[in-house]
Amino acid sequence: MSGFHTPDDGLDRFRFRLGFAAAVVLAAFTLLIGRFIWLQVVQHDFYRTRAEDNRIALIPIVPNRGVITDRNGVVLARNYSAFTLEITPSQLGQTLEETIDALAEIIDIQPKDRKRFKRLLDEAKNFESIPIRTRLSDSEVARFAAQRYRFPGVEVKARLFRQYPLGNVASHALGYIGRITERDLKWIEENEQSANYKGTDHAGKTGLEQHYEFELHGQTGYEQVEIDAGGRALRSLKRIPPVSGNNLQLTLDAKLQEITEKAFGDRKGSLVAIEPETGGVLALVSNPTFDPNLFVDGITPDNWKELNEHPDKPMINRAINGAYPPGSTFKPFMALAALELGKRTPSQAIADPGYFNFGNHQFRDDKKGGHGMVDMYKSVVHSCDTYYYILANDMGIEAISAFMGQIGFGAKTGIDLGKDDSGESRGVLPSPAWKKQRFKKPEQQKWYSGETISIGIGQGYNAYTPMQLAQATATLANNGVMFRPHLVRHIVDARNGDKRAVEPKPIRDLGWKQKNLDVIHRAMAGVNTEGTGARAFAGAQYVAGGKTGTAQVFSLKGAQYKEHSVKKELRDHALYIAYAPIDKPKIALAVLVENGGFGAQSAAPIARMVLDYYLLGKLPQGAANEDAAAVEADE
């Protein structure tokens, strides 16, 4: 009977299958309900948080960057409000390209603006507005306002920009800010500031702007806004205002700085002036300078190329990155070392034949025939080389290097510039240990006692930054009480004006004997009255201690140095250190003029100008003249 079904057989089977289907339906719906319970009961908290995260965006409000003023309140770096034209890509009515093309018809938009916009766009989140043009003129703002209806998602906003009102003045001290790069982000992260930099697109790149980045930046505020899936902000839920960055009041004197920079004219070089009592830097010059305003909006490739490839290297801060042999400016410190270590008495004299023979090598004095009988005073005033050849030989390299190391030679001064102290050069304080580390071959690693001789006159391996030299001079002027040089006097809280002093205490007292110091002070005053600095300081209404110096760039191998026969780049560097007034110094300085020839010739006149202004308020006329006649003077 197989194959034959009665209708009732079929109906029973059909009803059984209906029952089976019903069971499947119930099982499937039970599975669904189970899924709902999982999502809506078990995982509810998780999904509620996800929904909240979805709908709420935190829009950072960037704080005002702190203002930098000089010691007298002259503004060196500030913020100004300017109109920018900004595009919020997620809200555009047409494509980005079309929008920008249409905008270009009413507002001047250069290819470089487009390039910059593209770059910013890649880095941005989609609900941010991104500037296509900065610093709109009033008429551009008006033109755009009239056509605003055509551009949904485009608006004019007032934004704060960094500005350095004095332009090039003190640019090497101030540094500049620029757009945050990958490297900056790492730095920000290391300082656990990442959250605070949401929304910030500029950070200090060099100088004070970089060193005090986390003081100047301030606390980012934020606005909690409800957003939709397209990233459009619908309404504000909560607003935490930002806290402005702290202001910096510098020890720097802007007027002094400006005068000093002018005094350099177009000569390359550096000057650092320090207040000996505090270590506060009064002027920090590195010439040539640059205009930090160029960097604020992102420097154009042309400007960057010009600054970076210029043969005079304006971007290098010579005050802390240039290491130069100190030349004869090293002599007062040698003399002090001799007194402190008991190697000489002030009156102990040598007979100077004009040279010093060591082994089979003759070390010559600049003055042919020598200076005759030379005691310590005369050795400084007339800058007698032979005296210091012999002294260096008597003291030995270890003693010299130990003494000089204490005054800060060969070590970073810790000036508050750049990121930590990474921007500062250490210079070279020669010693057998240094040489061993510096060279690889064993025969080069050995210290030869002949090498000690020229160390005594500040030549040889000696190389120090103008900052180190100024610090040593200030320490000498302050009778051995040493400060870390610093540019910021106070960090001023933007909210309540509370001042935090940056450098309240000296770092060490070298414990020099006053009678020894008096000998050096008297000798250095003598330099400016009857010695190598006398021409530059003729008629000064104050007593200044000083010392000229010349650093060899070019080894003459025994030939007589004739300035005019040597190319400018190979001319010697001129140096000068000074402090005044001698009985209670208010200012100590070190000047270096690259390829300036003799110290008395080009460095000392700049120092005179600086001291005249700082002590007497006397304003100079233009750049300091080179004193051609000083060429003949003793060095």
Partner 1 sequence: MIDLVGTLRRGWLNATAHIDFPLLFIVLGIMGIGIATVNSATIDTSHRMLAQTGNMCIALVVMWLVSRVPPQKLMRFAVPLYVIGVLLLIAVFLFGIKVNGSRRWLSIGITRIQPSEIMKIAMPLMLAWYFQKYEATLKFRHYLVAAGLLLVPFALVAKQPDLGTALLIGSAGFYVIFFAGLPWKVIIGLAAAGVSAAPFLWTMLHDYQKKRILTLLDPTTDPLGSGYHIIQSTIAIGSGGVFGKGYLSGTQTHLEFIPEKHTDFIFAVYSEEWGLLGNVVLVTLYTLLIGRGLMIASAASTLFARLLAGAITLGFFTYAFINMGMVSGILPVVGVPLPFMSYGGTALVTLFLAIGILMSINTHRMLVKK
Contact set with partner 1 (CB under 8 A)? 3, 5, 7, 10-11, 13-15, 17-18, 21-22, 25-26, 28-29, 31-33, 35-37, 39-41, 43-44, 46-48, 50-52, 54-55, 226-230, 234
Q: How far apart are CA 408 and CA 429, in angstroms?
A: 9
Shortest Å, Cβ 41 to partner 1:
6
Edge-to-edge strand list for the sheet holding 233-240: 56-61, 221-227, 233-240
One DSSP character per residue, 25-53 reads HHHHHHHHHHHHHIIIIISHHHHHHHHHH
Q: Which is nearer to partner 1, 104 or 227 (CB)?
A: 227
Q: Which of 319, 323, 320, 309 is nearest to 286 (CA)?
A: 319
Q: Which is nearer to partner 1, 17 or 115 (CB)?
A: 17
Q: Which of 171, 270, 328, 401 is catalytic?
A: 328
**Per-residue buried b or exposed e for 90-100, using 16+ beta carbons within 10 Å of the residue's own CB:** bbbeeeeeebb
Shortest Å, Cβ 61 to partner 1:
23
Shortest Å, Cβ 51 to partner 1:
4
Burial of 33 (0-12, 13-18, 19+ CB in 10 A): exposed
Q: What CA–CA distances, in Å, run from 13 to 5, 9, 17, 476, 504?
A: 11, 6, 6, 114, 101
The crossing angle, in degrees rounded to 10, of helices 331-340 and 385-395 is 40
Q: Which is nearer to partner 1, 42 or 145 (CB)?
A: 42
Tokens representing residue 2 in the block: 């197989």
Q: Which is nearer to partner 1, 235 or 505 (CB)?
A: 235
Q: Which is nearer to partner 1, 49 or 445 (CB)?
A: 49
Shortest Å, Cβ 238 to partner 1:
16
Q: Which is nearer to partner 1, 53 or 309 (CB)?
A: 53
Q: What is the total residue count of the chain? A: 635
- Residue 531 gets which letter from DSSP? S
On whether the CB atoms of residues 89 and 118 are closer than 8 A, the answer is: no
Q: How far apart are CA 131 and CA 113, in angstroms?
A: 9
Shortest Å, Cβ 420 to partner 1:
40
Q: What CA–CA distances, in Å, run from 457 to 55, 371, 487, 529?
A: 73, 16, 31, 22
Shortest Å, Cβ 128 to partner 1:
17
Q: How far apart are CA 385 and CA 387, in angstroms?
A: 5
Shortest Å, Cβ 157 to partner 1:
25
Where does residue 502 fall: left (phi above 0), alpha (psi -120 to 50 degrees), or beta otherwise?
alpha
Tokens representing residue 525 in the block: 């005053």
Q: Which is nearer to partner 1, 32 or 616 (CB)?
A: 32
Shortest Å, Cβ 286 to partner 1:
50
Q: Which is nearer to partner 1, 42 or 559 (CB)?
A: 42
Under 8 Å CB-to-CB from 558, ≥6 apart: which residues? none
Q: What CA–CA distances, in Å, run from 363 to 172, 247, 331, 368, 376?
A: 39, 54, 16, 12, 19
Determine whether 2 is an active site residue. Answer: no
**Active site (catalytic) residues:** 328
